[in-house]
Amino acid sequence: MDYIIGAGAILESGDSGSITPATLHAQVDADLAGRARVAAIDFESTRMDGLRRLLVLVQGWNVDRFRLAVAEKLRAQGTCTLAEVLLLTAREAGVPELHFFAHWVPDEATCAALAEAGVALVCHRLESIHAASLVAGRRVRRFAA
């Protein structure tokens, strides 16, 4: 076993949509941990039309880097499709593929938009994550003693 460790945000859809900074440590198989540099995870929904909260993260990043590279651009854009969120995250991280963990698979339009932009979408069952620790909405600062 190995870990996906990174930072990003929980994106909440709807009228009260929000972007909440988050960090994740997710235990996965070792080969997957090395490949999943950018990940999107839906811990809650069983279908795409039930998607309300999506965790999007980049391995090795901290919340400030994600905020500057991705979250601020999403906030400025306002309303975003799933494809736009995934594509922006992959582009800003400079990776050719994005790993998607859920109980469902994105629709053909989302997959086609990513493929057209040159980003491969690699889908995994949510159960590929054996254990996870998610910290959201907190800022931790370290000070020299």
Is residue 97 in a domain?
A: yes
Q: Give the CA distances from residue 36 to residues 15, 80, 138, 142, in Å, rounded to whole numbers and listed in that order.
A: 31, 23, 24, 28
Give dist(CA 86, CA 116) in Å, integer: 13
Q: In the chain, how many domains are there?
A: 1
Quick one: pLDDT at residue 79? 86
* 143, part of any domain: no
Residue-wise pLDDT for 33-55, tens only, equals: 999 999 999 999 999 999 999 99
144 in any annotated domain: no
Average pLDDT over residues 135-144: 62
* Pair 39, 100: CB distance under 8 Å: yes
Domain presence at residue 141: no
User: Residue 86 domain-assigned?
Assistant: yes
Residue 52 lies in a domain: yes
Residue 142, in any domain of the structure: no
pLDDT, tens only, 81-137: 999 999 999 999 999 999 999 999 999 999 999 999 999 999 999 999 999 999 998
Output the pTM of the full model.
0.91
Percent of residues, the chain, with pLDDT higher than 70: 94
**Residue 109 is part of which domain span?**
2-136
B/e letters for 47-85, b = 16+ CB within 10 Å, e = fewer, are eeeebebbbbbbbebebebbbebbbebbeeeeebebbeb
Arithmetic mean of pLDDT over the chain: 92
The Cα 15–Cα 72 span in angstroms is: 18
- Quick check: is 115 in a domain? yes
